[in-house]
Amino acid sequence: MADLERLAVSTRPDPDLVGMLADLFEAYRSTRPAPTERVEFDPALWAHLDELGLTRLTASESSGGSGASWVEGAALLGLAAAAGAPVPLAEHGVLGAWLLEEAGLPNDGALRTVCRPDPSGRALNVTFARDAAAIVALWEDGDCWRVADVPTERTRLTERRNLAGEPCDTVQFELADLEAAPLVADTVGHQFHLRGALARSAQVCGAMERVLEVVLTHAREREQFGRPIGKFQAIQHLVADIATESSLARAATDTAVARAATTNWQDPGMLFTVGVAKSCVGHAASVVVRNAHQVLGAIGTTLEHELHVLTKPILVRRSEYGSVHEWDETLAELAASAGRDRLWPLILTGRR
């Protein structure tokens, strides 16, 4: 019980920070330009976040960051995603800054994104690459891992976009830049995938919670046959499923965030805990997106409406750093290897 209470306390971010972030992103939501088919990086918002010390919130103070925990970092990612903020907070601050620290490389604070190049030096689907000053690459060199901080101008970049209309480019590195990069501990390669998966889970949770707010407002205000559509049982069932799935995803994600924060990612049960979060978030995303568009009908698909600004990134994020199917398979393998006698301890601690 003491461990559970400790985790519960650890999932509560600083209320003053959360209040400030909520106000900041609410102001952004109310003043942002009308949505278009293409999402572009917002330099003014990024400059404001950087001025407040939020672009490197979880980086250590010695590297120029704010030294906050993953609990605060997850809150930032969720609220930014709920506002549809087109800025690479996860890539730059949560992942990129951490990789630079692990490699002992300097961090000047310039905008960065991250990727995992293949053996040929090519990386696909690198978010906001065209807007970054440099790209932090985690490269698997035989049995070793290297981290390279490569100026974007030294790469060959092919501009592309993902389902959400965000910049999501193909980047070709010079192998010399990757091969000369400093070595990092083997654990960095494994943790990078877990950290990325949990960051995406936090973002999807934030966006799904905003979807619930949008759906509830629409169900109260939209009328059919002389009464709000929220009075119809079919609509109530759709909304209830959105709320239930969002809450389950939030609980699983907060548990993983708390374990990451209290153990500094050293708990051997992190694979299972992050896997549960990513699986719950992925399955919830299908229900939330489908039901939300059913409740709002055609209006939710119009270019001007906020809903698609949320639902498209949800569908993109749920498949990054491992698809739902891949994480379900990982959990099934862990459960099977634990066996009947160790299954309950696996569920409780993440350890077999």
108-131 confidence digits (pLDDT tens): 999 999 999 999 999 999 999 999
Token output for 335 = 């459960």
Question: In this model, does residue 223 exceed pLDDT 70?
Answer: yes
Q: Quote the pLDDT of residue 344.
A: 87
Q: Quote the pLDDT of residue 32.
A: 87
Q: Please count the other Cβ atoms lying within 10 Å of the Cβ belonging to residue 296.
A: 21
**Domain covering 186-349 in this structure, CATH number:** 1.20.140.10
Residues of the chain with CATH 1.20.140.10: 186-349
What Cα–Cα distance (Å) separates residue 252 from each residue in 75, 246, 248, 274, 337? 14, 10, 6, 8, 22
Token output for 259 = 């374990």
* Interatomic CA distance for residues 98 and 102, integer angstroms: 6
- Residue 255, phi then psi, degrees to nearest 5: -65, -45
Q: Quote the pLDDT of residue 226.
A: 85
144 forms bridges with which residues in the sheet? 141
Q: Quote the pLDDT of residue 14.
A: 86
Q: Quote the pLDDT of residue 96.
A: 97
**What is the model's pTM?**
0.94
> What does pLDDT average to over the chain?
93
Pairing of strands 112-115, 134-141: parallel
Mean pLDDT of 195-207: 98
Residues of the chain with CATH 2.40.110.10: 103-184
276-319 confidence digits (pLDDT tens): 999 999 999 999 999 999 999 988 888 889 999 999 999 999 99
Q: Homologous superfamily of 103-184 in CATH? A: Butyryl-CoA Dehydrogenase, subunit A, domain 2 (2.40.110.10)
* Interatomic CA distance for residues 327 and 314, integer angstroms: 17
2-24 confidence digits (pLDDT tens): 454 455 445 688 899 999 999 99
* Interatomic CA distance for residues 262 and 273, integer angstroms: 13
